[in-house]
Amino acid sequence: MKIRDSGMPEKGMWEGFFSPEKILETLGINQGVQDAVEFGCGYGTFTLPTAKIISGKLLALDIEPEMVEMTKNEAAKVGIKNLEVVVRDFMTEGTGLKTESMDYAMLFNILHLEEPVVLLREANRILKKDGRVGIVHWNYDASTPRGPSMSIRPKPEDCIKWAEIAGFYSARRYDLKPYHYGIVATK
């Protein structure tokens, strides 16, 4: 089941909203991270830079075959080898990953979904002890140039509360200017 309000504008416009490398650095995605999983990779905006940075493998999931194809093609163009991009509905099927197998879970621009705690629980399940979840979302501000409708857009404090319910602790919040905030929490 595709999460609500998860359509995207064209690639160039979407990628103009972020500085992916800076965001990854702020959220602690660096060489010290071994294996990671990305829930909903979209155009691969954060997928390719993450695969280039981490020391292990990245698994990127998306329900849309065309998003998966685009991300795969972009990765092939630049010779990225430590990335697997798979068509999968993580809401109805989960990730398919083993319990306590990953070091970092990326939930970027998707936590406005219907059941955020269900997704965060799946992220918690697959993370090793001391693994981290990174959340990115649009600021709770109706003047951002895109983003889900304000009626379903989560505030940072909502994301922190849901993460704690799902078993994470030590949540820290970051300002990802100009339009986003980030949260990193630990299992």
Least Å from the CB of residue 173 to ligand SAM: 18
Least Å from the CB of residue 125 to ligand SAM: 16
Interface residue with ligand SAM among 109, 133, 138, 166 (CB under 6 A) is 109
Q: Phi, psi at residue 89, to the nearest 5°?
A: -95, 100
Report if residue 67 touches ligand SAM, rule: CB under 6 A.
Answer: yes
The pairing of strands 58-62 and 127-138 is unpaired
Structure tokens given for 115: 């059941």
**Which residue stretch of 3-11, 24-32, 123-131, 155-163 sits at the interface with ligand SAM (rule: CB under 6 A)?**
3-11
Report if residue 64 touches ligand SAM, rule: CB under 6 A.
Answer: yes
C-alpha to C-alpha distances, 169 to 16, 39, 46, 83, 181, nearest whole angstrom: 32, 20, 24, 28, 18
| Radius of gyration of the chain measured on its C-alpha atoms | 15
Amino acid present at 145 = P
Q: Which of 45, 46, 47, 52 is nearest to 31 (CA)?
A: 52
Report if residue 85 touches ligand SAM, rule: CB under 6 A.
Answer: no
Report if residue 2 touches ligand SAM, rule: CB under 6 A.
Answer: yes
Q: Between 84 and 170, whose beta carbon lies closer to ligand SAM?
A: 84
Q: Which residues bind ligand SAM (CB under 6 A)?
A: 1-3, 6, 8, 40-42, 45-46, 61-64, 67, 89-91, 108-110
